[in-house]
Amino acid sequence: MNKVLLIIQREYLTRVRKKAFIIMIFAVPLLILAMGGVITLVAKNSDQLTDAQVVKVIDESGVFAGKFKDQQNLKFETTQQSLAQVKTDLKKDDNMSALQIPVDYKQKDAIKIYSRKKPGITLTVKIESEMNDIAINNGMLKNHIDTALLHSVKSDISLNSIEITDTGDAKTDLGANIAVGIACAILIYLCLFIYGAQVMRGVIEEKTSRIIEVIISSVKPFQLMLGKIIGVGLVGLTQFSAWIILSIISTKIVGHAFSSPQGGLMGALSVLQTIPFGSVLMFFLFYFLTGYLLYSALFAAVGSAVDSETETQQFMFPITMPLLFTYLLSVTILFRAPDSPLAVWLSIIPFTAPVAMMLRLPFGVPGWQLAVSMSLMIVAFLFTTYVAARIYRVGILMYGKKASYKELVKWFFYKE
């Protein structure tokens, strides 16, 4: 046990004493805060980021001419010029487009927009919205519906989400839940890769430099692998703890300094208070630790089986495929249905649970699902550590031989 502790101490201290580690502890929270401020500023002034656009409307149907409403940085001009004449003007101006509306505009792909460069999605969406509004108004007038009266009775209804809990009703915010869930999924996905890769690179470095032959004469391979995994994991926990503390402090300082309680950053912070950060943080640490132990053991086995990082690809892809698959689903589909059968199963299967469960946690997860998922995570990382250790004990002493999956199976069954 003392040897494992010495290895943990060495792996931990050699990393936390580096200038890059200390700089990143303070730099990351500041960068995140600055990035959030820039994103907020950009979103607030998004209309000013694009040049004024002019759209020449060639309305052959006679239905839309003169009915388009100008918007900020977007002006509509009805023209009687032919398409060929307008195209000549388009070649001289990058901020001009031509909208051709044929007589049979209701046919699929009948309406066309021409421009010297590809039109942005914002421009096309605005034009489509305008045309749909005009078509609806025309349809109502055709059917003798009073459009003015109809618009006057329109209402702007919004829902206030309330969650019924054992301790009473609690206000929730769907947007905040989605944001926190996706952020946690992305963060844990990146962390498993970053710190797992550090373990793999450390193993490869020691193996290629032949230092491993000296180390193995003093400690058992399993002790070395375990010490390396735990040491790097503690480095990750240290970074996370520092980032969380500094992020909370800096956010509160900036929030009180630059925002009013009614809106802005403080308004956003009040929304985030509806998220159970205590339980989310606790489970984040659990899934980070168990997920890290599971994947870093496999990374260590891969590192022991190769002689350079360029040879790791054939082994890395099958290992990281479940994690990558879940990550892509989480940021595209699963956040829309966090309680769907697919999301539930992905949050229970150990190789996908760290990412999928972190996405689901802000929405609330039944206790039995959490219990099953956490139990399987513990069993899975113990099993993968055992498998990886048996491969590691043989692989670290193999040089010049290109390993294959068949070789790894043989190494696993080698007797002591």
Profile the chain (416 residues) by mean pLDDT over runs of 10 residues.
82 86 83 72 61 82 84 84 83 83 84 81 83 84 75 66 60 67 83 85 79 75 83 86 77 56 47 62 87 88 80 81 88 84 92 90 86 93 86 77 78 75
Pull the structure tokens for residue 36. 């959030």
pLDDT of residue 348: 93
Q: DSSP assignment, residue 70?
A: P
pLDDT of residue 350: 92
d(CA 286, CA 347): 14
d(CA 332, CA 220): 45
pLDDT of residue 373: 94
Q: Assess if CATH 3.40.190.10 describes domain 52-145.
A: yes
**Structural domain boundaries in the chain:** 52-145, 173-413
Distances (CA, A) of 185 to 13, 105, 229: 29, 45, 22
Distances (CA, A) of 308 to 201, 343, 399, 400, 409: 9, 37, 11, 10, 20
Q: For the full predicted model, state whether its pTM sits above 0.75.
A: no
pLDDT of residue 271: 47
Strand partners, 78: 57
pLDDT of residue 379: 93
d(CA 256, CA 267): 11
Helix-, strand-, coil-residue percentages of the chain, each rounded to 5: 65, 5, 25
pLDDT of residue 372: 94
pLDDT of residue 255: 55
Residue range 215-231, pLDDT digits in tens: 777 778 778 888 888 88
pLDDT of residue 263: 47
